[in-house]
Amino acid sequence: MIRSIAIDDEPLALKQISGYVSKTPFLILNGQFESALQAITFLQENEVDLMFVDINMPDLSGMDFVKSLNSPPKVIFTTAYREYALEGFKVDAVDYLLKPIGYVEFLKAAEKAKERIQLKSVVNIDVHSDETFLFIKSEYKILRINLSDIKYIEGMREYVRIHLQSEKPVMALMSMKKMEEYLPRNKFMRVHRSFIVNLDKITTVERNRILFNKNTYIPVSDLHKEKFQKYLDDNFLV
């Protein structure tokens, strides 16, 4: 669960955020405050992952409040004033929600925060010397992943998403190039800038695409087409 707090000098706005948090499965609201000054003491004594902070507040604005923190939690700003958006992103805010806030917009912002928080906790990766499994530190847990359980690996900027046979994907903070180095070349092949596939999991190839099911297909790029075609030719039964 992602531990969150809400800060807004408008009671109705606090009530709305509280309601949205309660209906979002991965969020829990640990505190709500009508001023940033009230929240400071709470942050000193409690661990918080995410803050929903109104920008335009008396005494101490939400922006100045976030800037005053040495190691602030992830922040989603809420405000009725569109002109604050750019300033919000200057302090590395996850998102900026313009009031009145709908739940769809709230959920999208919360999902972005969840992804960032998970990435922050994914800090290490190691591979056993027999090349049959690897350990991933993810969401404060160390997970063992058997290489045979991996279907494919998706590159997403500075991290990778490991798609597994029967479980939800696992994220690791590393480059595709580094990930490729860890994997046995006789079992895994990079077929696209953003995809590495487990060759043992391929069942259907159609028009330069690898199909894992009717909703999931991996494109084979021109750069990797020759290498992949050679693999197919070498294993083709005439």
> What's the CATH code of the domain at 179?
2.40.50.1020
- The residue from 120, 153, 172 where one domain ends is 120
* SS3 label, residue 11: helix
Specify the pLDDT at position 122.
54
Largest Cα–Cα distance of the chain, in whole Å?
78
Cβ-Cβ contacts under 8 Å for 90 (sequence gap 6 or more): none
Indicate whether 51 and 67 sit together in one domain: yes
Compute the average pLDDT of residues 179-183: 86
Q: How far apart are CA 206 and CA 219, in angstroms?
A: 10
Residue 54 clears pLDDT 90, i.e. is over it: yes
Indicate whether 116 and 143 sit together in one domain: no
In the chain, the amino acid numbered 38 is: Q
Q: How far apart are CA 103 and CA 23, in angstroms?
A: 10
Give the residue, 10 or 159, on which the prediction is more confident.
Answer: 10
Q: Which of 37-46, 80-89, 103-112, 173-182 has the lowest mean pLDDT?
A: 80-89
Compute the average pLDDT of residues 12-26: 96
- The residue from 67, 101, 120 where one domain ends is 120
Indicate whether 108 and 11 sit together in one domain: yes
Indicate whether 105 and 192 sit together in one domain: no
The chain-wide mean pLDDT, for the chain, equals 86
Q: How far apart are CA 228 and CA 195, in angstroms?
A: 13
Q: β-strands 2-7, 50-54: how paired?
A: parallel
Specify the pLDDT at position 173.
76
Specify the pLDDT at position 205.
92
Residue 4 clears pLDDT 90, i.e. is over it: yes
Indicate whether 11 and 115 sit together in one domain: yes
Q: How confident is the model at residue 90 (pLDDT cuts 50, 70, 90)?
A: low
In the chain, the amino acid numbered 23 is: K
Q: How confident is the model at residue 91 (pLDDT cuts 50, 70, 90)?
A: low
| CB half-sphere exposure, 177, CA atoms < 13 A | 2
Provide the residue range defining the domain that includes 185.
Answer: 125-234
Q: How far apart are CA 169 and CA 216, in angstroms?
A: 14
Q: β-strands 133-138, 125-127: how paired?
A: antiparallel
Instruction: Please count the structural domains in the chain.
Output: 2
229 φ, ψ to 5°?
Answer: -65, -35
> Bridge-partner residues for 27, per DSSP?
2
Indicate whether 116 and 139 sit together in one domain: no
Indicate whether 28 and 84 sit together in one domain: yes
> What's the CATH code of the domain at 21?
3.40.50.2300
Cβ-Cβ contacts under 8 Å for 214 (sequence gap 6 or more): none
Specify the pLDDT at position 217.
87
Indicate whether 149 and 106 sit together in one domain: no
Indicate whether 81 and 169 sit together in one domain: no
Specify the pLDDT at position 118.
75
Q: Which of 146, 151, 234, 157 is nearest to 191 (CA)?
A: 151
Indicate whether 143 and 102 sit together in one domain: no
Write out pLDDT tens, residues 101-141: 999 999 999 999 998 887 665 545 555 545 788 887 665 67
Specify the pLDDT at position 129.
43
Compute the average pLDDT of residues 5-27: 95
Q: How far apart are CA 16 and CA 65, in angstroms?
A: 22
Indicate whether 43 and 73 sit together in one domain: yes
Indicate whether 29 and 100 sit together in one domain: yes
**What is the pTM assigned to this prediction?**
0.55
Q: How far apart are CA 186 and CA 203, in angstroms?
A: 17
Q: How far apart are CA 210 and CA 1, in angstroms?
A: 35
- The residue from 60, 94, 120 where one domain ends is 120
Identify whether the C-beta of residue 125 lies closer than 8 Å to the C-beta of residue 137.
yes
220 φ, ψ to 5°?
Answer: -100, 115
Compute the average pLDDT of residues 156-184: 84
